[in-house]
Structure 1
Amino acid sequence: MITLDEARAMIAVARAKGREMGLNPLSVVVLDAGGHPLAFEREDGASPGRFEIARGKAYGAVMLGMPGSVQKARAEEQPFFMGAVNGAFGGRLVPVPGGVLVLQDGVVVGAVGVTGDTSDKDAAVAVAGIEAAGFEARA
C-alpha cells in the first residue's frame, strides 16, 4: 500500500526531476491500487485540464496492470481492443507513456500519472519519484 506521505514524496521528486530536466510545468497524480487518487499537484503554468490527463494515464496503468508504454503499443496494434476497454472504463484511459505502475514486492499497489511535457519525459520523472519513495516502477 502507498501511504499519503509516500505519495507526496513521489510527487515532490517527480516535480524536482522535471525542474532539473527543464521540462514544461507538470501535473502529477498518485493513485492507489483501486484507481483512487491519493495525492495530486499541478505546477504553476500547467493548464487546468492536466488533472484528467494525469489521472487517465495512471488509471489505465493500474486498471489494466500495464504501463502507458504498453497501452500505447496495444492501441497501435489492436485499436479496437483498446477502444473497447476505454469505453468499458467510461473513456477515462489515456493510453500513452506517463502512466507508470507502482509495485511493492512485485505486486501492483498503485500508479503515478504525469503530464505536461513529452510522454517519455513524463514517464521518466514518474519513475524517479516512484523509486525515490522506495517502490519499483514499471514504465
Structure 2
Amino acid sequence: MRHQPLLELADCRAIVAASHQAADQLEASVSIAVVDSGGHLLLMERRDGASPASAEAAIAKARMASLNGKPTAAMEASINSDRPALLQLAGLLGQPAAAMAGGLPLLQDGICIGAIGISGMTPELDSAIAAAGVSALS
C-alpha cells in the first residue's frame, strides 16, 4: 500500500502568498487557484482587477495540471502542434479543465498532490506566477 502526502490549508496559503508576491512584482491582475490531487478546489483568490472569467480559468488550469500531473503549457503546445486530440481530454474529465499555460502540478517525492492554476495575464506571466507558487511548497 502506498501512502500519499496531502496538501494542508497552511500549504495552500503559502503557495497563494508566494503567487501574490510574484504577481505584485509583475503588477499582474490574476486569479490564483490551488486544487488537490483529485482536482478539487482547496483555495482560490481573485486579485483586485482580475476578471471574473480568470477565476474560472485558474481553477480549470489547476484541475487539468493536477489530474494529469503535467504542466498545462506542455499540453497546450501539444494541442497546437501534433496532438489536437488532447482537446477531447477536458470533456472526458467530466468537470471544467483547461489545457492552457498557467497550470503546474504540485509534486512531493514524485507524486502529484495537487496543482496551482493562474489566469488573467499572458501565458508567460501566468506560468511565472504559478512557478513562484510551486516554489513555496519545497
TM-score, length-scaled by structure 1: 0.88
Q: 2:59 corresponds to which residue?
A: 55
Gaps of 5+ in 2: 1-5
Gaps of 5+ in 1: 135-139
CA distance in 1, matches of 2:67, 2:42: 15
Deviations 1:75-123 (A, max 9, x none): 12211x2122122124622212100010001111000000111112111
Please say if 1:104 is aligned against 2:100: no
* Alignment counterpart, residue 89 of structure 2, candidates 85, 89, 92: 85
Count matched residues. Answer: 132
Bigger drift between 85-94 and 14-23 goes to: 85-94
Aligned Cα root-mean-square deviation (Å): 1.3
Q: 1:40 corresponds to which residue?
A: 44
Please say if 1:5 is aligned against 2:17: no
CA distance in 2, matches of 1:90, 1:36: 13
Please say if 1:26 is aligned against 2:30: yes
Please say if 1:122 is aligned against 2:126: yes
Q: Which amino acid aligns with 1:18?
A: A
Q: Which amino acid aligns with 1:78?
A: R
Q: Which amino acid aligns with 2:32?
A: V
TM-score, length-scaled by structure 2: 0.89
CA distance in 2, matches of 1:84, 1:95: 10
